[in-house]
Amino acid sequence: MGWAIPTLLLAQLFTSTFCSDALRTQEFQRYDGWYNNLANRDWGSAGSRLHRDSPSNYEDGVYMMNLSLPSARVLSDLVFKGPSGIPNARNMTSMFAFFSQVVAYEIIASTQTGCPLEVMKIPVPPGDPVYDINGEGTDIPFTRAKYDKQSGQGFNSPREQVNEVTAWIDGSFVYSVMEAWVATMRSFQNGTLKEGSQKRYPPLNNPHIPLNNPPPPQIHRLLNPDRLFLLGDSRVNENPGLLSFGIILYRWHNILAQRMQKQHPDWTDEELFQAARRWLTATLQKIIFYDFLPALINEEVEPYKKYMPHVPPGISHAFAAAAFRFPHTIVPPAMILRKNVNACEFREEVGGFPALRLCQNWWNAQDIVQEYTVDEIILGMASQLCEADDLIVVEDLRDYIFGPMHFTRLDVVASSIMRGRDNGLPPYNVLRKTFNLPELTWETINPKLYATNKEMIDKLAALYGGDINYLDAYVGGMLELDNGPGDLFKAIIKDQFVRLRDSDRFWFENKQNGLFTDEEIQQIHKITLRDIIKETTEISEEWLQKDVFYFKEGDSCPQPFQVNITGLEQCVPFMRFDHFTGNEVTYIFTLIGLGCIPLICFGIGYVLIQRRRRMGWDSSFDDLSATAIDDDAPRDHYHIQAFEWLQECYVRQVIVEFSPGVLTVRKPRGLILRKMIFPENAQILVYHSEPGASTVHGPYCLIKLSKTYDLVLRLPSFKHLPEFLAALTLSLKKLDGQVTSIPIQNEQLLEKAETKDRRQQRLDHFFREAYARAFNQPKLSDAEVNDHDSEDVLNQTITRHELAQAMGMRETDMFVQRMFAVTTHSDSDVITFAEFLEVLRKFSEGTMRDKYKLLFAMCDVHGNGRVRRSEFAEFVRSLNAVVGVSISESSQNHVIENILSRSGVNPGSEYLTSADFEAIFTQVDERRPVGVDFRGAKIKVNLQETASLSSFALSTVPEYKCISRDVFGSVAAFIETYRQHIAIMFIFCCINAIVFLERFWHYRYETEHRDLRRVMGAGIAITRGAAGALSFCMAVVLLTVCRNVITLVRETPLGEFIPFDSAITFHKIVALFAAFWAALHTIGHCVNFYHVATQSQEGLHCLFQEAVFGSNFLPSISYWFYGTITGLTGILLVAVMSIIYVFALPCFMKRAYHAFRLTHLLNVAFYALTVLHGLPKLLDSPKFWYYAIGPVIIFVIDRIMGMRQEYKKLKILNAELLPSGWLALD
């Protein structure tokens, strides 16, 4: 009959009217714990600080752990090591031990790692049987906990760790602390939680909720998180006992929701869910405070009085880091399973062993629960006695608890000691005084222990230097144990739970919140954990004792034996893992590949240049061979396709047209490149390749015509050579010309060819040698020309056109015509070297009489000894036009009249004689220079003051001078000339430096919370600084090519301060800066990627807080290079940038300009990839668009302006190529 009373009470609970309509208007308690205390809204909330009830004890008073204290592992071995299998003297069951973990996870989550990772080393004694078998020396890693970033800044604000779950007993173990998390668990039907494929079990983690999923140490590899059960706490799958309680509470919620739905079918899903949650929370509060807590501290607790909003509920450091770690000592090394068969029958074989070893089943609970059911685990825990309340912690926790991938086994005792130091817990006696307890000595901490194990106490005292005032609070508190927690831990635990109860506005006994009536409160008080187990499982009540936390005499089905490690499965020893293992080959070959990309581009460019240099056969010749001669053309008109050889490294495809007396060279699209007009009786000399001189390439033809440079063509094949010669002969037929063909070797033919460039070199040498001899200045000669070549110049002749080009004038200018006329003697069409030298010597060495006679001869067009005044005026006007002087005709005539009048020349005379010229020039200063500017030949000579020959374009022979003040004058002149350029460069360099240093400083000193500095050192600061400067350069380089905008802005006042004409030069400078920053950024990230690939998952979470990695995913170096947008676009950027820069080098641009144009089109892809490069926000939000958005808009506007101009029709009336090289358009 006694067993039936609780059942009747429970039935009455759900048949009464506790679910009144008033409940529909009640406040729903938040999941994150906020607003429980209306005056202090964040008290007890998820993410709030732990409560510090005693002064902190950091070494520096702020955050540093005391490293002078004994090794936590040494303390663990000395104090907490011992045999397992000692039964609990109070007959407490293992259900109590595992339920204590439920309670801990309900209110505490303060050991999560923070950012940056702070990894401390726990020294391991040499030869440690678990961690240092070979005596090589090692350390156990300990990661400090997450803390409030607003703390740890000074003496009045020491570091304060945070609690990631709510401090309230509000069912967060079942529901979590996040609304989104709860939503994934709900079915949204009748207020229930979602069921999985297995009836009455929660679903598996298919939504990929971030459950804890460390690698099980027994198998040492990452597993799929989908295998885990989805419940409210991320740690619930840690072990079978904990998971069983999670499933029981999950079922308890659904039972409550179903019964409420039957009572109130008109309630919505949300109302049913919140009502079931309130009742589950209330029953959990009652069980924890009124059932679990008295059993834990072995004394009754005072009854509830009232809600006290001024009491802080926060979990204290002493509770989280010391006192509530006491249950570690009662956890058994294995779990007994008991069959649910209405009989006292235990499983004698669990995986081949009599009990389920904890160390071999960390994070494998879901498989155990599904294989053996929750019922068998619960029955086993109800019968099994836990370990004794003593100092001994079983090796499954002390040596073989789970750890990270790189150190799979940890020591829970050593971690607890270090956690106290991490939290800044004061020493043992200081903490006792905080709770009004007297100080103790080594002898009085535990007199019974001191009497039985004095040697251990003495060794412990020696480790602390004999001073108990340094004793860690956790170690001291555990030393007090005697069939339960000692005075210190008991006071801390009791204080914590009383504060939680009294400060909770939603506590079930608080009548002011209106959640429950007096009758309902009394009914809740009668519910026990046994009742919930019975409702949520298929266990019969006769096989479950009344108080499941104890196994008393007379209870059914006692354990068959006290579990110890004898006969159990052996724990897999700890293992290490190097996260870079297996990445070596990928990393090395990736770096080699990145380094080879520029080399490959150089190689391609070299091949293109060599191909042009050798003029190798290509597909274009195939087309030529098919249509080389146009058979449909008229008889006297022929078209042939060929290649024109211009110089060693440059050829171009052309179309050669023959018509009577004319050879025309055109581009394939029709533009005329050259015309050779044959004179009457022309003697044409044609050198061509000997048959067989080239078995692969077509023959060369060199056409020599007097008074012009040679034409070198390359025909498609030898079969076209006779046709070509025939066409040339036919073109000369009507002119009575003659073609002489001479076969020679290719090398000799190309050597004989006097192309335009070679002719220009000969002309330059012609003028240099002439001036060197005229002025007796050997330095004007080319130093690189040998004596033989200098003698050859005596046989050179120049035409009127070449003379005009050398002087920078038109061939039709009067001065050129008269200069040519007075210079030539033997032939009216050319000037010999001797004739030109004779005229130069008259200007340089002749008397003033010789000079004005020469000028008179130039003006005497008809050679009759007199010059018309109009001819003289025209001669002067021609000179004015050449030097750029614009003067009206009337003004010029007026000036001439004045000169003639001053010279005594009759103003009315129509002709000027030689005597008149003598009278005019005798008025000129004898020392006044006479100058001739040979701009085309790069020569400017003062014919009287030969010292001005320093302006001559000399060869590269250095002239050594002593350093004088002229150097400083030259520097000053340079600065004055280029002051605008210097100012712009100074500003540009300063901005580069500022952007780099700002980013460098930010990532070096202002992002410690990201863990970047610890992992990558200065590398990340350098690369991010380079990235900022590179972004700036990429923005500026766009502005330098906005030609249309620059043209407009040049006309504004800005044109006075900015040298817009040097935009292209500045474009190259900016590009060089960008190349430097890009190289620095690339090299830096290659090093950074190595550091990243060595990090654990916790480290990666700190480094890349915007990225989400699966708990079973361990990124490799190939992932970072090829599996991320940042890495892949980075490699593509290196490739694209290498292509652009290599083909923009002068050596390639000169010889492969078409390739330069094509590769520069890749800039569109370059900027697009740069935008994509920063989108994943691995390190920071994208910043490139801040720099580039303005220049891109301006660039687009410029392109639109350019397109409008391209489509705008322009009528060109006249086009003339000026001697200066400019094209004049009308």
When mean pLDDT is compared across 221-225, 282-286, 430-434, 1183-1187, the lowest value belongs to 1183-1187
pLDDT digits (tens, 9 = 90+) for 637-664: 778 888 888 877 677 889 999 888 888 9
- Provide the strand spans (E) within 454-533: none
Determine the Cα–Cα distance for residues 871 and 854; give it in Å rounded to an integer: 16
CA distance 342 to 355: 21
- How far is residue 1066's CA from residue 851's CA, in Å, rounded to a whole number? 48
Q: Is residue 365 part of a domain?
A: yes
Tokens of 719: 């079969």
Which of 376-385, 456-465, 493-502, 939-948 comes out lowest in average pLDDT? 939-948
3 state DSSP class of 415: helix
Whether 196 and 254 map to the same domain: the answer is yes
Which tens digits make up the pLDDT trace of 666-721? 888 777 888 888 888 888 888 888 876 554 466 889 998 877 888 998 888 888 88
Q: Which of 754, 789, 809 is the last residue in one of the domains?
A: 754
My answer on whether 112 and 179 are in the same domain is yes
Structure confidence by residue, pLDDT tens digits, 92-108: 999 999 999 999 999 99
Q: How far apart are CA 417 and CA 425, in angstroms?
A: 10
Q: Are 1130 and 1082 in contact (CB under 8 A)?
A: yes
Same domain, 779 and 724: no
Mean pLDDT, to the nearest integer, of 24-40? Answer: 88
Please give the share of the chain, as a percent, with pLDDT higher than 70: 86
- Identify whether residues 774 and 750 lie together within a single domain: no
How far apart CA 287 and CA 1006 sit, in angstroms, is 48
Q: Is residue 65 part of a domain?
A: yes
Q: What is the DSSP letter of 424?
A: T
Q: How many C-beta atoms lie closer than 10 Å to residue 399's C-beta?
A: 25
Residue 927 or residue 595, greater confidence: 595
| 903 and 1000 co-located in one domain | no
Please report, rounded to a whole number, the percentage of residues in the chain having pLDDT higher than 90.
53
Shared domain for 245 and 363, answered yes or no, is: yes
Overall domain count for the chain: 4
End-to-end CA distance of the chain: 120
Residue 684 pairs in a beta bridge with 739
- Residue 834 resides in a domain: yes
Cβ neighbours, 10 Å, residue 39: 7
Residue linked to tokens 């000179």: 879
* Per-residue confidence band for 786, with pLDDT thresholds at 50, 70 and 90: low
* CA atoms within 13 A of residue 967's CA, in its CB half-sphere: 5
HSE-CB at 344 with a 13 A cutoff on CA atoms is: 13
Once rounded to an integer, what is the mean pLDDT over residues 1134-1161?
89
**Distance (Å, whole) CA 905 – CA 907:** 6
Q: pTM of the full predicted structure?
A: 0.74
* Overall average pLDDT of the 1208-1218 stretch: 67
To the nearest 10°, the Cα dihedral for 44, 50, 51, 54? Answer: 170
Helices marked H in 643-755: 721-733, 746-752
Q: State residue 886's pLDDT score.
A: 61
Residue 12 pLDDT greater than 60, yes or no: no
- Are 889 and 740 within one domain? no
pLDDT, mean of residues 325-352 = 93
Q: What pLDDT is recorded for position 697?
A: 61
Cα separation, 1083 vs 946, in Å, equals 57
Neighbour tally for 452: CB within 10 Å: 11
In a domain, 1033, yes or no: yes
Residue 1209 clears pLDDT 80, i.e. is over it: no
Residues listed for the chain: 1226
CA 64 to mean position of chain CA atoms: 33
With cut-offs at 50, 70 and 90, classify the pLDDT of residue 212.
very high
Give the DSSP letter string of 514-562: -SS-HHHHHHHHT--HHHHHHHHS---GGGS-SSTTB--TT-SS--SS-
Q: What pLDDT digit, counting tens, does each position of 878-906 carry?
A: 766 656 566 676 777 777 777 777 776 77
Task: Tell me the C-alpha distance between 1067 and 1057, whole Å.
Answer: 18
Q: Is the pLDDT at 322 greater than 70, yes or no? A: yes
Same domain, 538 and 661: no
Q: How confident is the model over 104-137, as pLDDT tens digits?
A: 999 999 999 988 889 999 999 999 999 999 888 8
List the single range of 204-213, 298-307, 779-788, 981-990 with lowest mean pLDDT: 779-788
Residue 860 domain-assigned (yes or no): yes
Please provide the average confidence, as pLDDT, over all residues in the chain: 85
Residue 1070 and residue 1187 in contact, taking contact as beta carbons nearer than 8 Å: no
**Are residue 1035 and residue 1164 in the same domain, yes or no?**
yes
What is the per-residue pLDDT for 689? 86
Residue 7: pLDDT over 80? no
Residues 848, 611: Cα–Cα separation, whole Å: 59
Clarify whether residues 750 and 800 are in a common domain: no
- Whether the pLDDT of residue 79 is over 60: the answer is yes
Task: Flag whether 1051 is in a domain.
Answer: yes
Write the CATH number for 650: 2.30.29.30
Q: Domain range spanning residue 659?
A: 638-754
> What is the arithmetic mean of pLDDT over 369-398?
96
Q: Which of 543, 564, 580 is the last residue of a domain?
A: 543
Instruction: Write down which residue in 691, 726, 754 finishes a domain.
Output: 754
What tokens appear for 425 in the block? 């817990």
- Alpha-carbon distance 805 to 827, whole Å? 20
Residues 779 and 727 in one domain: no
Write down the number of H helices and E strands in the chain: 45, 24
Report the pLDDT value the prediction gives residue 787, as an integer from 0 to 100.
56
Q: What is the mean pLDDT of residues 719-738?
A: 85
The sign of the torsion formed by the CA atoms of 143, 147, 152, 158 equals negative
Residues 841 and 975 both lie in one domain: no
**54-63, 868-877, 1047-1056 — which is least confidently predicted?**
868-877
**Top-confidence range, 212-226, 789-803, 1169-1183:** 212-226
- Provide the 8-state DSSP code for 236: T
Residue 279's CATH number: 1.10.640.10
- Confidence band of 90 (pLDDT split at 50, 70, 90): very high
Q: Is residue 554 part of a domain?
A: no
CB 387 within 8 A of CB 84: yes
Residue 328 known to bind ligand: yes
What is the Cα–Cα distance from 267 to 258, expressed in whole angstroms? 12
DSSP per-residue codes, 775-811: TT-GGGS-TTS-HHHHHHGGG-EEEHHHHHHHHTS-T
Kindly state the average pLDDT of the residues 459-465. Answer: 96
For the record, the structure tokens of 113 come out as 């790692």
**pLDDT over threshold 70, residue 615:** no
**Does 610 reside within a domain?**
no
The segment with the largest mean pLDDT, out of 23-32, 958-967, 1059-1068, is 1059-1068
Instruction: Read off the pLDDT of each residue in 30-38 and give the average, rounded to a whole number.
Output: 95
